[in-house]
Amino acid sequence: MRLPLAACLLALAVAACTPGGSPGEAAAPVLTAAEQAELAGLEALAAQVEADRGVVAGFEVLQARYAFEPDPRTGNLQPAVHLALANGSGLVVVKLSVQASFSRVGEPGPWHSQEFHMPLAGGLAPGGGTAVRMIPASDSDWALKAPPAEVEVLARVVPIALETADGRRLVTPHALGPDKQARLEQLRGDRP
């Protein structure tokens, strides 16, 4: 008689330990304080992306071309990226933030990835376009890791945030890229 009673008590104890009391239901992840803060930050970013989506739609990096050019100060060759921008949004954009990744042709991943923040002189009006040149500081990771000039480099550059003259900072869907989206899902318990 005692064995069936013990089995019933064990089943009740197991059910009580699972969320909602249902056996087999996955437990919510237990997050550290740092992970909770990270989750809150990523959820806030995701909410801002959704809120800003319609306003920033149409702003594009049309082209990103990697090249080596003489440094005007020293004459030494240095890497540079030339961007062609088009503003199809309704905003006058005075500052642009981009995520840039540089990879060698034929290699699976980038040798350098970084956010860049640049003012757009005079602002970029709705319907306008402009060309921008990005160059690294001589002691930056980009400059120090850059392969020799004869190595072909692919530049992938996407806009992540636009700033207006009144100081509003609006984010694009690229701000919540695949790595951040995967991390958000992981912290939420949506995936392993």
- Does the residue 37 lie in any domain? no
Report the pLDDT value the prediction gives residue 25, as an integer from 0 to 100: 53
Q: Are residues 4 and 77 in the same domain?
A: no
- What single-letter amino acid sits at 102? F
- Does the residue 82 lie in any domain? yes
Burial class (CB in 10 A: 0-12, 13-18, 19+), 146: buried
Tokens coding 81:
């990226």
Q: How far apart are the first and last CA of the chain?
A: 42
pLDDT per residue as tens digits for the range 126-170 = 999 999 999 998 889 999 999 999 999 999 999 999 999 999 999
- Does the residue 180 lie in any domain? no
Report the pLDDT value the prediction gives residue 57, as an integer from 0 to 100: 97
Number of separate domains in the chain: 2
Q: Are residues 118 and 23 in the same domain?
A: no
Which residue matches tokens 């989206």? 181
Report the pLDDT value the prediction gives residue 128, as an integer from 0 to 100: 97
Nearest to residue 112, comparing CAs of 64, 146, 137, 77? 146
- Does the residue 189 lie in any domain? no
Tokens coding 34:
């740092």
Q: Are residues 63 and 9 in the same domain?
A: no
Domain that holds residue 152: 55-175
Those residues of the chain that have pLDDT short of 50 are 1-19, 21
Q: Are residues 167 and 95 in the same domain?
A: yes
Report the pLDDT value the prediction gives residue 73, as an integer from 0 to 100: 81
- Does the residue 184 lie in any domain? no
- Does the residue 134 lie in any domain? yes
Domain containing residue 132: CATH number: 2.60.40
- Does the residue 161 lie in any domain? yes
Q: Are residues 2 and 94 in the same domain?
A: no
